[in-house]
Amino acid sequence: MSAAPNRDRQAERREATRREIVDAAWEIARRDGLAAVTLREVAGMIGMRSPSLYSHFDSKNAIYDAMFQQAWTVFLAKAEEDFQRMPDVPREALLKMLENFFDFSVADLARYQLMNQRSIPGFVPSQAAYAPSVEVMRQFIAFMHGLGVTDQADIDLYLAFAGGLVDMQLANDPGGDRWRLQIPRVIDMFADDLGLPGPPLRRTP
């Protein structure tokens, strides 16, 4: 009978505290905006003195870094699952992929801003934090190639109007669907321009 491996309880407690700190930072960001995150308020939310945070994160940007990595890790897992369930018709797959990204993005303004906008002056994600987003892009490009969209300029255009629709929704109709309703029309225009197969997605001309 083999002995169970020894648990590193100190490491487990440390990781649990880091998660608690990041969760508190997200709560502040979602309530008051990303810029409102401070070491003092994060510490207060979890019952810790501000100097004690430095044993877990050496700066506020380090907390942002952990938040950035967490957000992209969550999206990577979702994207990997979504890619397995895409329609076979390219036009329909492009539609579903954009709807999935749109819905994930508008569900959490603070998360979207940290992931996709330069909303924190001086913050640059570390290589480790950036890695999940790089993997998302690698899989996205591979998927686009599989649909027959291989020109980088066409891929760039898809990314541009995807981000633009999200930005317009969040800025002008938060909680609504005004710009989500435009997605089938935009995909039709994109697919028509590239000559991709599939019936029109728009319900009306």
Provide the sign of the torsion angle of the four alpha carbons 69, 58, 27, 15, taken in this order.
Answer: positive
**CATH number of 40's domain:** 1.10.10.60
Residues 131 and 185 in one domain: yes
Residues in the chain: 205
Residue 117 confidence class, pLDDT cut points 50, 70, 90: very high
Domain boundary among 37, 58, 79: 58
Residues 167 and 114 in one domain: yes
Supply the range of the domain harboring residue 15: 1-58
CA separation for the pair 113, 102 (Å, rounded):
13
The tokens for 125 are 């994600």
Whole-model pTM over 0.85: yes
Residues 172 and 83 in one domain: yes
Residues 114 and 42 in one domain: no
Domain boundary among 58, 83, 107: 58
pLDDT at 204 > cutoff 70:
no
Would you call 118 helix, strand, or coil by DSSP? Answer: coil
Residues 83 and 138 in one domain: yes
- Per-residue pLDDT tens over the stretch 92-104: 999 999 999 999 9
CA separation for the pair 158, 155 (Å, rounded):
5
Residue 205 confidence class, pLDDT cut points 50, 70, 90: very low
Average pLDDT of the segment spanning 43-52: 84
Task: Note whether residue 63 is domain-resident.
Answer: no
Task: Note whether residue 194 is domain-resident.
Answer: yes
CA separation for the pair 186, 158 (Å, rounded):
9
DSSP for 40-99 reads HHHHHHTT--HHHHTTT-SSHHHHHHHHHHHHHHHHHHHHHHHHTT--SSHHHHHHHHHH
Residues 1 and 91 in one domain: no
Task: Return the axis-axis angle of helices 183-194 and 152-172, rounded to nearest 10°.
Answer: 170
The tokens for 72 are 């992209």
One-letter amino acid identity for 163?
Answer: G
Average pLDDT of the segment spanning 88-116: 97
- Domain tally, the chain: 2
The pLDDT value recorded for residue 125 is 96
Average pLDDT of the segment spanning 135-139: 97
Residues 86 and 126 in one domain: yes
